[in-house]
């Protein structure tokens, strides 16, 4: 039987909130009793939940009274945790990428794929008819207050401990430190990443430092007020052996097939069509026998090209940090970082030191991908696993959906406290909700592997590829929309040039005949009178 994995765990001493697909479940952490669940809703409430789709992100306030959620429907929902009562919901301008409460619990911050962060009061004031009309053409349909914006979609954000600053990261390798809530005032930038940034963390034991990670092979430690890197922690070599999930496929190419892999029609699938418009007339020079003339070659218009998906023969492994947290050992007061990577089957522990000594990263391998993890005040690490995944493609029903770790002698070990048994058992049995295969496909837990990396390699941009040795000048080829158009022109050059030479010779002979019949003194006819309109831009000249 297919079941929803627990995509997010929110725990503290008084409550446990579990997000499973489109549903929210509330448990008593001491007894493991299921207090309430949205899976029991009926009628219109049930239809509204299922229509919203899977919950992508959630956050609770410090008081434990309110929960905020959002998903692919771009609706921000505020819940009263007691009874899971829906207090209000608001439409967001774009799909959200992160949610957080301020410390007083009165404001919700939401980042989105358009690169903006908006703030919302937990209890919005009712809008008048005039206000609704004014918002009709505004970017935010719910009257959210714009805090700041990036030129690329935001991947992570964090508030400083005093909430005077907000630190944001985007897909284009940028980290920005801005004032809060005056986000238009930028304090500094933390620049140095070569790939996307997907995780930010400020350790409670070192609030002046910021740890960031993403697609780069290391974590970076910043003095974030100055925007300088204090040290780097290499992590890729330790993480790579445990990355078992590969991306389903990057964004399809928008260009025509370039002839690789069995011809123009090979590998074409149904999909959205995109127009490859001809840039105009391509002019080329052809040498004519017996005289210098120029022929104008106009390639045939390029027909609409279908989207060509990536080849199915195994994409490269993608490294993407999912989450970074920190903790201290109660025995020797040592400091550590705990982090996870998208599609990796292990959780990783790294000593946090002030020097550049080798980090000594220690993994704890679960054998199945880690979805999420949460640290509690007592130092326990609750880990949510993708129990339905297996390397053979089937579903392993014997794998626990949640396991608990603790720090012991500088390593992560399985926690076996008897007091944890009721809640742990409930998370692995009572809270397991059935799911249809279509629901699991929609869930797409590893979407970040395809969405975060940018298609900047030559295979996705034909204009970056070196032309064949005999392809002519780059200036000429740069005017063509696709490599297929180039190939068509190249294939037709020889035959077209030969026909142009014959046409030139024929016109030349006709001109001589006319010149002899009408007199040698006539200008504009005969040998010197052939008018050739030459407008060619090639390497050799005009």
Q: What is the mean pLDDT of residues 272-281?
A: 41
Looking at residue 188, the DSSP 8-state letter turns out to be E
Distance CA 58, CA 43 (A): 24
Q: Is the pLDDT of residue 307 over 50?
A: no
Identify the band that residue 387 occupies on the pLDDT scale cut at 50, 70 and 90.
confident
Q: Is the pLDDT of residue 129 over 60?
A: no
In this predicted structure, which of 131-140, 437-446, 502-511 has the lowest mean pLDDT? 131-140
Q: Is the pLDDT of residue 123 over 60?
A: yes
pLDDT at position 208? 96
If residue 491 lies in a helix (H) or strand (E), which one and from where to where?
helix 483-518
Q: What is the pLDDT of residues 529-541, one digit of tens each?
A: 444 444 444 344 4
Q: What is the mean pLDDT of residues 520-529?
A: 42
Q: What is the mean pLDDT of residues 399-427?
A: 93
pLDDT at position 2? 87
Identify the band that residue 16 occupies on the pLDDT scale cut at 50, 70 and 90.
very high
* Nearest residue to 337 via CA among 139, 455, 202: 202
Position with higher pLDDT, 518 vs 95: 95
pLDDT at position 75? 95
Q: What is the mean pLDDT of residues 416-437?
A: 92
pLDDT at position 265? 40
Identify the band that residue 511 occupies on the pLDDT scale cut at 50, 70 and 90.
low
Question: Quick one: what percent of the chain has pLDDT higher than 90?
Answer: 55
> Are 34 and 16 within 8 A, CB to CB?
no
If residue 236 lies in a helix (H) or strand (E), which one and from where to where?
helix 236-239
Gyration radius of the chain's alpha carbons? 31
pLDDT at position 143? 86
Q: What is the pLDDT of residues 152-187, one digit of tens each?
A: 989 999 999 999 999 999 999 999 999 999 999 999
Distance CA 96, CA 73 (A): 10
Burial of residue 475, with CB atoms counted within 10 A of its CB: 0-12 exposed, 13-18 middle, 19 or more buried: exposed
Q: Compute the residue count for the chain.
A: 542
In this predicted structure, which of 55-64, 91-100, 102-111, 267-276 has the lowest mean pLDDT? 267-276
Position with higher pLDDT, 492 vs 187: 187
pLDDT at position 290? 43
Q: What is the mean pLDDT of residues 42-60?
A: 92
Which residues are CB-neighbours of 418 under 8 A, at least 6 positions away?
none
Q: What is the mean pLDDT of residues 82-87?
A: 94
* Nearest residue to 402 via CA among 379, 431, 442, 376: 431
In the predicted model, what is the mean pLDDT of the chain? 79
Position with higher pLDDT, 230 vs 143: 230
pLDDT at position 403? 97
386: preceding bond cis by omega (within 30 degrees): no
Q: Is the pLDDT of residue 68 over 50?
A: yes
Q: Is the pLDDT of residue 463 over 80?
A: no
Both tokens of residue 407? 């720090």
Distance CA 173, CA 155 (A): 10
Per-residue HEC secondary structure of 1-66 comes to CCECCEEEEEECCCCEEEEECCEEEEECCCCCCEEEEHHHCCHHHHHHHHHHCCEEEEEECCCCCE
Most confidently modeled range among 173-182, 288-297, 396-405: 173-182
Q: What is the mean pLDDT of residues 128-132?
A: 56
Identify the band that residue 69 occupies on the pLDDT scale cut at 50, 70 and 90.
very high
What is the phi-psi region of residue 526: left when phi exceeds 0, alpha when psi lies from -120 to 50, beta otherwise? left
Q: Is the pLDDT of residue 20 over 70?
A: yes
- Please give the model's pTM, rounded to 2 decimal places: 0.73
pLDDT at position 249? 58
Domain residue ranges in the chain: 273-309+461-528
Q: Is the pLDDT of residue 55 over 90?
A: yes
Burial of residue 225, with CB atoms counted within 10 A of its CB: 0-12 exposed, 13-18 middle, 19 or more buried: middle
Identify the band that residue 128 occupies on the pLDDT scale cut at 50, 70 and 90.
low
pLDDT at position 495? 53
Q: Is the pLDDT of residue 330 over 90?
A: no
Q: Is the pLDDT of residue 490 over 80?
A: no
Distance (Å) of CA 466 to CA 277, 348, 478: 21, 41, 11
pLDDT at position 355? 75
Question: Quick one: what percent of the chain has pLDDT higher than 70?
Answer: 67
């Amino acid at each position: 039987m297919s079941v929803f994995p627990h995509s997010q765990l929110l725990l503290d001493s008084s409550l446990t909130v579990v997000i499973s697909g489109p549903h929210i479940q509330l448990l008593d952490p001491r007894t493991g009793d299921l207090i309430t669940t949205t899976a029991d809703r009926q009628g219109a409430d049930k239809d509204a939940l299922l229509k919203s789709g899977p919950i992508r992100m959630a956050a609770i306030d410090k008081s434990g009274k309110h929960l905020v959620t959002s998903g692919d429907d771009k609706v921000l929902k505020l819940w009263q945790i007691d009874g899971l009562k829906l207090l209000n919901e608001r439409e967001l301008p774009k799909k959200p990428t992160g949610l957080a409460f301020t410390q007083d619990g009165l404001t919700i911050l939401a980042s989105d794929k358009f690169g903006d962060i908006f703030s919302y009061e937990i209890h919005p004031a009712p809008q008048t008819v005039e206000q609704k009309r004014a918002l009709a053409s505004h970017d935010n349909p719910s009257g959210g207050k714009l805090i700041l914006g990036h030129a690329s979609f935001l991947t992570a954000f964090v508030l400083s401990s005093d909430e005077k600053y907000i630190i944001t990261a985007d897909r284009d390798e940028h980290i920005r430190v801005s004032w809060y809530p005056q986000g238009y005032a930028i304090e500094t930038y933390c620049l140095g990443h070569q790939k996307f940034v997907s995780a930010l963390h400020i350790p409670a034991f070192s609030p002046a430092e910021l740890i960031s990670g993403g697609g780069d092979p290391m974590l970076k430690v910043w003095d974030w007020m100055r925007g300088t890197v204090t040290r780097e922690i290499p992590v890729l070599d330790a993480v790579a052996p445990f990355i078992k999930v590969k991306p389903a496929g990057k964004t399809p190419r928008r260009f025509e097939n370039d002839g690789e892999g069995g011809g123009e029609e090979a590998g074409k699938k149904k999909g959205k069509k995109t127009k490859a418009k001809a840039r105009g007339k391509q002019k080329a020079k052809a040498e004519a026998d017996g005289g210098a003339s120029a022929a104008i070659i106009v390639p045939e218009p390029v027909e609409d090209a279908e989207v060509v998906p990536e080849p199915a023969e195994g994409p490269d492994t993608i490294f993407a940090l999912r989450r970074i947290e920190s903790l201290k050992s109660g025995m020797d007061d040592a400091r550590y970082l705990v982090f996870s990577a998208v599609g990796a089957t292990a959780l990783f522990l790294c000593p946090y030191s002030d020097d550049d000594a080798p980090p000594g990263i220690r993994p704890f391998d679960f054998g199945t991908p880690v979805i999420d993890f949460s640290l509690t005040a007592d130092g326990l690490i609750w880990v949510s696993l993708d129990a339905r995944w297996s390397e053979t493609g089937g579903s392993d029903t014997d794998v626990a959906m949640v396991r608990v770790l603790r720090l012991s002698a500088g390593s992560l070990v399985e926690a076996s406290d008897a007091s944890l048994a009721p809640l742990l058992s409930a998370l692995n049995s009572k809270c397991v909700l059935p799911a249809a295969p279509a629901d699991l496909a929609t869930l797409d837990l590893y979407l970040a592997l395809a969405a975060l990396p940018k298609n900047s390699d030559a295979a996705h941009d034909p204009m970056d590829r070196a032309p064949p040795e005999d392809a002519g000048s780059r200036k000429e080829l740069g005017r063509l929309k696709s490599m297929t158009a180039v190939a068509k022109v190249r294939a037709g050059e020889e035959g077209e040039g030969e026909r142009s030479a014959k046409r030139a010779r024929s016109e030349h002979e006709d001109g001589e005949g006319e010149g002899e019949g009408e007199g040698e003194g006539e200008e504009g006819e005969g040998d010197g009178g052939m008018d050739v309109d030459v407008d060619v831009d090639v390497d050799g000249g005009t």
